[in-house]
């Protein structure tokens, strides 16, 4: 019996470092700007006459990442931002509005798509939640 307990304890000691210190890695979600087919005002579509009085958006102002099932979105402008996440079946699993930063826990793992709407700009991406 002591040999069995010793073997069990030794097995747990060997396995513990892999389970206790296994951290999920943050993975950046590649975001692609969706551009409509229309005439954009001004010389610079990110800061044209049509945006006078508003905070112009720029794709570099957005960062999205997934760590396990924790989705984080950071926007470095003062516009209201809407995030919509869909699962593989196309069902909306997250629809939230925020300013600046949000972190949301997804209910299920698997492949997802993300849409970020901010100041007339739409970005999309795909990611895998663990």
Domains of the chain in start order, with CATH, are 26-35+55-130 (2.60.40.3080)
- Average pLDDT score over residue span 21-43: 75
Return the pLDDT at 36: 73
pLDDT, position 109: 95
Phi-psi domain of 14 (left: phi exceeds 0; alpha: psi -120 through 50; beta: other): alpha
pLDDT > 80? residue 11: no
Q: How far is CA 95 from CA 2, 60, 107, 127, in A?
A: 56, 22, 13, 16
CA-based torsion, 112, 26, 123, 31: positive or negative: negative
Question: Contact, 64 vs 71, CB < 8 A?
Answer: yes
Is pTM beyond 0.75? Reply is no
Indicate whether 49 pLDDT > 50: no
Q: Report whether pLDDT(116) > 80.
A: yes
Average pLDDT over residues 67-83: 96
Bridge partners of residue 32, in order along the sequence? 124
- More confidently predicted of 20 and 23: 23
CB 45 within 8 A of CB 33: no
Higher pLDDT, 65 or 37: 65
pLDDT at 52: 46
pLDDT band at residue 5, thresholds of 50, 70 and 90?
low
Query: Which range has highest mean pLDDT (12-26, 27-41, 82-96)?
Result: 82-96
Average pLDDT, whole number, for the chain? 82
* Higher-pLDDT residue of 66, 39: 66
């Amino acid at each position: 019996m002591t040999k069995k307990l010793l073997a069990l304890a030794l097995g747990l000691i060997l396995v513990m470092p892999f389970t206790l210190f296994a951290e999920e890695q943050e993975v950046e979600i590649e975001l692609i700007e969706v551009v409509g087919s229309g005439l954009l005002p001004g010389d610079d579509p990110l800061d044209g006459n049509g945006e006078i009085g508003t905070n112009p958006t720029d794709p570099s102002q957005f960062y999205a990442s997934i760590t396990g099932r924790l989705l984080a979105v950071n926007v470095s402008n003062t516009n209201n931002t809407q995030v919509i996440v869909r699962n593989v079946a196309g069902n909306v699993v997250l629809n939230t509005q925020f300013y600046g930063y949000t972190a949301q826990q997804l209910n299920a793992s698997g492949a997802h798509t993300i849409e970020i709407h901010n100041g007339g700009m739409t970005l999309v991406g795909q990611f895998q939640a663990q």
